[in-house]
Structure 1
């Protein structure tokens, strides 16, 4: 059938390569308004030479062929006509149908995203961020972006295997060593420019580690580096090495790396260090949070660590006992300052989960300090501020004449109740604190902020002081996260950012859940 069709004369669009016309007796197109598909023989209306129906037909019935065609750029007149007409069923379906993963269009777009990840050195998780996926959808709604696992385990390794730049560098280094008669075993360090192709050589070892993990059927986890500013990172590093010891031994079991294989003595020392650090690491991880109250738990945690968890036992080895004693002495020295102790005691007493509860040796002193702070917060213990507020409210009410209305019993008794003597603020503060401490502590997993929100009517003075102390962070980890966010924003490629722009970007990044765009 394709042989019998005749092409349309004087056309430039590649679409016409797949369509023709029924010939007349002279061998010319019989009807220029009715094209015929060379692939399936279906007839398509093409009035006034418009090719939109042709592309719509290919997208609906031959999508793989349509994906290889260049993008459609309609003329100004065609765009105007297309904007005023209703889409056909086939064309509307073609605009929302997703590309097949085997189509050329999908492969080209995926390769472009892979190049972006590699060349711009951005994290693989970028492809799963809502803003990035929304951006791609704005460009092409038919493209479905693969997940980060595909790019990290398939797309990037495929791109690497097609280049082999790391293999070339490794071979060049070996040739240089041979040329200078240097023993590769004695090589301690090579200084590089940290280029991506140099770093790719270490990627081979990570691949070997993943292969060994699969063969040994152990968790496929990466190794962890110690970070001085991250609490508990040293214990996580040691614990991960112990977990991956069989795989590490298999990866290092070659001529050049056998001397790096940890011995049984090394493993024994790491196990003792991990046993001493792990209990404390669990507490420090919890105290490093920022979305819940932490400062009030410091005194209970310190008491538990020094008197139970880190207390040397008869079963401990000398090394483990020394580590525990050293950790206890460091903690005691860190929290020794008197001003810090007073702040922690107040926070612990104001937490309804503890209410001081034998964690403070100077409970009476802490209570007196809280009462004085309540009086200083609103000024004076004679109730002067309350009287001034009442007087201001009374003057405000007399300034505007109230509307005439029938008096109620409450109006008649109001004058007598307002003239009663006000209770001194010191007495009210002392009464609130006494009632608060007499109540039973709430569940240890309950939210103290929610409790104060629900009970601020019962304890109006204490609740204001509680809000002041409950917002303190127990560790510097939250502030470190802010600096990390700033470091991710102020990169060498964005070194021209002004300080106020950095402040805005850091604030938006750290408060994205509370901002609206």
Structure 2
């Protein structure tokens, strides 16, 4: 309850909690605040030890982080600056160990769209004024609600945007256009002190919602935690560029055209030869949904699969795979199969197996993988789990490549929970205790099935 529901340690001292506990079980004596704190420490030690055991068995890891500062301005990771975080990661993981760095695609999209929205800032500012009016004025909010009911529209309160999240601007514009007639009527009746949108500006808002929809869809897809994301980056980036270019033909307002021009120019710069990034190219190639289809040209695909063949050959030479007998049926070939005479033949077979060229074998394996039909909706990890006996070298290579995440959003989501942990009732928690609570909230099994699966 303390870790999973963000309840303060002092809950056991609250009068209401004591009465509730007594009502459930009069003989139950709640633990003290100090005992609860020690329990959290013990659970943290146990869960970290379990996680370390699991991590010690994996072939590769991917690291991502975010920064967070408490209400009391105590930094729980590093100083709250992007430059400082980047310097720490680069110096520790990238420069020292030699790991490769992959920028967060969600942040890149955020920059692309934020820059493009500047082209229509005057219109967006007008929308903000109206939205803020409905959030600030109880009279305006009530009148909007009544107007929506009269027009048999869904009761929607226009959403406000957040300066750091471009998609919040998209949600604001979308909710605004959804209540267009009710908003126009309400602003006129209440004589609201805001600038009204012209018909062309309303058209621009509508067109901007259409233009930004694919970017929102990609952002949501990349922010997931339960499936692969990095293998989709090349495909999604190309898809965004094509969709934006297609929208140009149906865009009628100059402001919306300016947004498209900015989006295309920014993506052309930021996504330039994105398929040449080895991490992104190899993960896309190892996703059975894409393979060669992820690449805009055959040359890049050939280079990628050549690298994979070389890597697979290295795996085969370092980690020998159990080979089947060269001649089927020899393992039980009569009573003489284990005799001295037969041993000479088995030595020759073993020598033939060892003499095989690992590179040639790897090329054949990659070729067989490419000839496999593309799955439709099957989970790529489940697909590889079923094919691991068929492609043992490639499956090991896949485990090293597809562990990468395309965005730091999942880590940001975890850090966002610290805002619920560091509340007014728990503002004096030490960083060590906050670390334990955040870790337990993210890693404790959520239900009985998860607990049974956990080693």
What is aligned with 1:129?
Answer: none
Compute the displacement of 1:341 (Å). Answer: 2.0
Alignment CA distance shift 1:343-1:135 (3 Å): farther
* 1:234 to 2:169 alignment: yes
Alignment CA distance shift 1:259-1:411 (3 Å): same
Alignment CA distance shift 1:385-1:442 (3 Å): closer
Alignment CA distance shift 1:260-1:338 (3 Å): closer
Preserved contact between residue 346 and residue 370 of structure 1 (Cα < 8 Å): yes
Task: Kindly provide the CA deviation profile for residues 391-421 of structure 1, in whole angstroms up to 9, marking residues without a partner as x.
Answer: xxxxxxxxxxxxxxxx977655685454543
Preserved contact between residue 173 and residue 209 of structure 2 (Cα < 8 Å): yes
Taking the aligned partners of 1:447 and 1:213, their CA distance within structure 2 comes to: 43
Report the structure, 1 or 2, having the larger helix content.
2
Preserved contact between residue 229 and residue 405 of structure 2 (Cα < 8 Å): yes
State the aligned residue count: 307
What is aligned with 2:419?
Answer: 487
Match of 1:356 among 258, 274, 292: 292
Alignment CA distance shift 1:278-1:226 (3 Å): same
State how 1:258-273 maps to structure 2 within 5 Å: 258-273=193-208
What is aligned with 2:43?
Answer: none
Taking the aligned partners of 2:307 and 2:412, their CA distance within structure 1 comes to: 32
State how 1:136-215 maps to structure 2 within 5 Å: 140=23, 206-215=141-150
Alignment CA distance shift 1:470-1:276 (3 Å): same
Preserved contact between residue 224 and residue 236 of structure 1 (Cα < 8 Å): yes
What is aligned with 1:450?
Answer: 382
Preserved contact between residue 298 and residue 344 of structure 1 (Cα < 8 Å): yes
Taking the aligned partners of 1:319 and 1:308, their CA distance within structure 2 comes to: 18
Match of 1:311 among 246, 253, 265: 246
- Work out which of the two has the higher radius of gyration on C-alpha atoms and give 1 or 2: 1
Taking the aligned partners of 1:484 and 1:249, their CA distance within structure 2 comes to: 37
Taking the aligned partners of 1:277 and 1:252, their CA distance within structure 2 comes to: 26
Unaligned runs of 5+ in 1: 1-121, 124-133, 143-199, 391-406
What is aligned with 2:312?
Answer: 374
Taking the aligned partners of 2:19 and 2:371, their CA distance within structure 1 comes to: 60
What is aligned with 1:428?
Answer: 361
Unaligned runs of 5+ in 2: 1-5, 8-16, 26-134, 324-333
Bigger Cα displacement from structure 2, 297-306 vs 489-498? 489-498
Matched residue SS, 1:259 = coil
Bigger Cα displacement from structure 2, 310-319 vs 465-474? 310-319
Match of 2:209 among 264, 269, 274: 274
Alignment CA distance shift 1:201-1:336 (3 Å): closer
Bigger Cα displacement from structure 2, 214-223 vs 289-298? 214-223
Task: Kindly provide the CA deviation profile for residues 173-206 of structure 1, in whole angstroms up to 9, marking residues without a partner as x.
Answer: xxxxxxxxxxxxxxxxxxxxxxxxxxx9766755
Alignment CA distance shift 1:201-1:435 (3 Å): closer
Taking the aligned partners of 1:453 and 1:275, their CA distance within structure 2 comes to: 39
* 1:497 to 2:429 alignment: yes
What is aligned with 1:320?
Answer: 256
Taking the aligned partners of 1:449 and 1:385, their CA distance within structure 2 comes to: 22
Preserved contact between residue 422 and residue 429 of structure 2 (Cα < 8 Å): yes
Alignment CA distance shift 1:216-1:356 (3 Å): same
Taking the aligned partners of 1:384 and 1:258, their CA distance within structure 2 comes to: 73
Taking the aligned partners of 1:410 and 1:341, their CA distance within structure 2 comes to: 53
Q: For the aligned residues, what is the CA RMSD?
A: 3.8
Matched residue SS, 1:357 = helix
Compute the displacement of 1:352 (Å). Answer: 0.3
Taking the aligned partners of 1:485 and 1:478, their CA distance within structure 2 comes to: 11
Matched residue SS, 1:421 = helix
Alignment CA distance shift 1:425-1:138 (3 Å): farther
Preserved contact between residue 233 and residue 406 of structure 2 (Cα < 8 Å): yes
Compute the displacement of 1:138 (Å). Answer: 5.0
Taking the aligned partners of 1:410 and 1:203, their CA distance within structure 2 comes to: 92
Taking the aligned partners of 2:241 and 2:275, their CA distance within structure 1 comes to: 21
Matched residue SS, 2:264 = helix
Compute the displacement of 1:218 (Å). Answer: 1.5
Taking the aligned partners of 1:513 and 1:262, their CA distance within structure 2 comes to: 51
Bigger Cα displacement from structure 2, 289-298 vs 220-229? 220-229
Alignment CA distance shift 1:274-1:135 (3 Å): farther
TM-score between both structures, scaled by the size of structure 1: 0.51
TM-score between both structures, scaled by the size of structure 2: 0.57
Taking the aligned partners of 1:292 and 1:266, their CA distance within structure 2 comes to: 40
Compute the displacement of 1:485 (Å). Answer: 1.7
Match of 1:466 among 398, 405, 409: 398
Taking the aligned partners of 1:135 and 1:408, their CA distance within structure 2 comes to: 78
Compute the displacement of 1:273 (Å). Answer: 1.7
